[in-house]
Structures are given as C-alpha cells and as structure tokens.
Amino acid sequence: MVMKEIQMVDLQSQYEKIKNQVNAGIQEVIDSAAFIKGGKVIDFQKDLEKYLDVKHVIPVGNGTDALQIALMALGLKPGDEVITPTFTFIATAEVVALLGLTPVVVDVDYDTFNISIESVKKAITPRTKAIVPVHLFGQNADMEALLALAKEHNLYVIEDACQSIGSVYTFSDGRKVQSGCMGDIGCTSFFPSKNLGCFGDGGAIFTNNDELATKIRAIANHGMTVRYYHDVVGVNSRLDSIQAAVLQVKLQYLDDYIAARQKAADYYDKAFGNNEKLTIPARAEKSSHVFHQYTLKLNGVDRAALQKSLSEKGIPAMVYYPVPLHLQKAYQDSRYKAGDFPVAEKLSACVLSLPMHTELSDEQLEYITKSVLESVR
C-alpha cells in the first residue's frame, strides 16, 4: 500500500472516521431549517460549558470576532493600552487597533514561545487596561504569574485560546483549569484547522463572570438584549447551526484528538531530541500541551533549504510566524524598531513547524523524521 499524502493538517481522514455521525447532525439541521440560533447551537454550547467546566460559553462567528467582542465588553476608551505578545498571529493586535485602543506588544519566552512575564511587567503604564496572552501552539502561558500581575495592577486578562482548547493548566494549589477559563474572558476559534475545527468559520467566548457574559451576548447580537432595543453598539457574530452540529460531534472526540497529537509529538521528540541542530518544543511545567503546532527551532540550519528539500520529498513544513507584529507594515509605529524584541525576532528567523494533526501514522512519522534528519545532516 502506498503511504497517504502528508499534509500539515489532514481533515479528510479525520472526517472519514466520524462521517456518519457528522452527516446525521447536519441532516438534522437541514430538516429542522433552524439554521441560525437553532437548538444545535445551544446543545453544543452546553456540551462545551460542561467540557470546559466554565459558566458561560457564547458561540460567535470566528475567533477574531471573539477577541473583538471580548474587548468591547470591557468598555475601554480610545488610548487605553492593551498588552499582547509580538510573536503570534495578527488577530490579537488587529482587534485592539480596530477598536481605537493602543496595542502594546511585548517579547516572548524563548523556550515556550509564550508571553514573557518580565516583558509584560516592563510594559505596564497607568494607561494599561488589559493583557491578552496568546496560548501559542497549544500550550498555556504562565497564567499564575500573569494573573497575579494583572491583579496587582487591576488589569483585565483576556486569553487567546484559539490554538489551545483542551489544554489544562495546573495552579500551585493543585487547581486544574482549562485553557481560556482562567482570566476574565477566554476566546477560541473553530476554524477548520484548529484543534476543534468546524466546516467553515466559528468561534466562542468563555467567561465565569455573569455580568460580562450578559454584555458579551448583547454585543454579539447587535447590542440587543430585548428584541429591537439596542442598549450598546454591537456587532453581528454568530455560530450557525450546521457548524454547531459538526462541533457537537467533534467535541466528543477532542480528548482522543489531543492524545493523537501528543503521540505524534512524542514520536518527533524522540527522533529529534538528541540532534544539536534541532531544538524540540519545550513542555511548560504547569500546562499540558495540545500541540496545535509542533514547532522546532533550527540551530545553524538553512531553513529555506530545509523546507525545499522536505517539500521535494512530499513533506510540507511551515513558518509560524515569519514576522513579529512590531515589524509588520500595517503596524509600523514610531514606538518600535527592529531589535526591540530580540527573542521574538530570533524565533521568527529559526522556527519551523512540521505536519501535525490527528491522523499521522507511524509510517508517515518515520518518513518525516528520517527525511528531516537526512536534510539537516
């Protein structure tokens, strides 16, 4: 038998295994014609609240909307500063800028890729109102330290859990809390390639705060709590019932999916752990890792040449992320220049993510690891 084509994410093979259940769920929605705000959305919301052990899940249209609505719910004013890491996907800073708030970027920790607490400390000013940590690649930031810092300075914490759903953080008192449920508000994305992905766009907001939940629900629904009475300026952002039907099925397998990703990561770790040209992803002490990405740091390896040589062998490999936020054209700002965030800049130059998904076979993993080792020799 020939080996299946290697992809960064293999959603077809994953779907094959749950096809009957997913198709039945979608068919139910079609038969009911309750496409928007249907029962499926509420069913999924309740299932996710239970899985996360959080009081409120508010489904929305996508992860970027989730971040925007979360920030809107805090009632911040133009000029208020929001701290976020510079080594991440653009969405976090984008919504801050769109709302007329001031994004303040900070450096990250070299080992975990996550927001550096020391760097946050230095960035806090009297105008700082919120911190948005991004749990990058599937591992929670150092939330215990971050929450303590936020409390000391009376700041909101909004977690970007778009890559980390299902990751668990253990506090020093032994409390275990799901990613996105530690700060004031958590945000996630159900973009197809995310760890819990639907068949289009989707997202959700998490909170244990009743008052914030009420505001968030209203903002996501045109600022309306009573129909056609608009108390605040809102947006239109909702998860549709077909996506909820898909997610309801996939949520049942999320723990299996996480285990499959961790197994693939273990395989990579074993193969690369002793190679001085490759640094395997560090596993944080207090957080489990759900491996949205498996990201190597290359030491003295020509990254473009490695990518090309892998590509010739049918192995995709991606650079997440090639340019930190403070060096992006759209966000160029007299406050920042190259060299300001040396860790993020170094990471942008040396990271390489390998195929990571729930369906990687041992045969594929063997082929990938062998090819990588051959290419860096």
Ligand X SMILES: *Cc1c(COP(=O)(O)O)cnc(C)c1O
Q: Which is nearer to ligand X, 63 or 281 (CB)?
A: 63
Per DSSP bridges, beta strands 185-189 and 229-230 are unpaired
Cα separation of 238 and 62, whole Å?
A: 8
Question: Which residue's Cβ has the minimum distance to ligand X?
Answer: 63
| Beta-ladder partners of 178 | 168
Q: Which two tokens stand for residue 39?
A: 């029962």
Question: Least distance from C-beta 164 to ligand X, angstroms?
Answer: 9
Q: How many CB atoms lie within 10 A of CB 86?
A: 30
At 75, which helix (H) or strand (E)?
none
Q: Which is nearer to ligand X, 25 or 63 (CB)?
A: 63
Question: Least distance from C-beta 277 to ligand X, angstroms?
Answer: 28
| Beta-ladder partners of 29 | none
Among 91, 105, 198, 254, binds ligand X (CB under 6 A): 91
For 262, phi then psi, to 5°, come to: -65, -35
State yes or no: residue 85 binds ligand X (CB under 6 A): no
Question: Least distance from C-beta 320 to ligand X, angstroms?
Answer: 9
| Beta-ladder partners of 185 | 158
318 three-class SS: strand
DSSP class of 245? H
State yes or no: residue 191 binds ligand X (CB under 6 A): yes
Number of residues that bind ligand X (CB under 6 A): 15
Residues 130-169: x where in contact with ligand X by CB under 6 A, - otherwise, as a string = ----x-------------------------x-xx------
State yes or no: residue 63 binds ligand X (CB under 6 A): yes
Site for ligand X in 232-291 (CB under 6 A): none
Q: CA geometry: angle at 159 spanning 257 and 278, to 5°?
A: 60
Q: Which two tokens stand for residue 144?
A: 């215990």
Question: Least distance from C-beta 205 to ligand X, angstroms?
Answer: 12
State yes or no: residue 84 binds ligand X (CB under 6 A): no
State yes or no: residue 89 binds ligand X (CB under 6 A): yes
- Compute the radius of gyration of the chain from its Cα atoms: 21
Name the segment binding ligand X (CB under 6 A); options: 60-68, 110-118, 239-247, 327-335.
60-68
Name the segment binding ligand X (CB under 6 A); options: 31-39, 88-96, 247-255, 361-369.
88-96
State yes or no: residue 220 binds ligand X (CB under 6 A): no
State yes or no: residue 189 binds ligand X (CB under 6 A): yes
DSSP class of 333? -
Among 38, 85, 186, 203, binds ligand X (CB under 6 A): 203
Q: Which is nearer to ligand X, 327 or 376 (CB)?
A: 327
Cα separation of 94 and 325, whole Å?
A: 10
Question: Least distance from C-beta 262 to ligand X, angstroms?
Answer: 19
Q: How many residues does the chain have?
A: 377
Name the segment binding ligand X (CB under 6 A); options: 87-95, 104-112, 238-246, 279-287.
87-95
Q: How many CB atoms lie within 10 A of CB 81?
A: 20
Percentages helix, strand, coil for the chain (3-state, rounded to 5) are 40, 20, 40
Q: How many CB atoms lie within 10 A of CB 264?
A: 24
Q: Which is nearer to ligand X, 133 or 365 (CB)?
A: 133
Q: Which is nearer to ligand X, 144 or 160 (CB)?
A: 160
Question: Least distance from C-beta 367 to ligand X, angstroms?
Answer: 27
Question: Least distance from C-beta 178 to ligand X, angstroms?
Answer: 17
Place of tokens 């230095």: 122
Cα separation of 211 and 131, whole Å?
A: 20
| Residues binding ligand X (CB under 6 A) | 62-64, 88-89, 91-92, 134, 160, 162-163, 189, 191, 201, 203
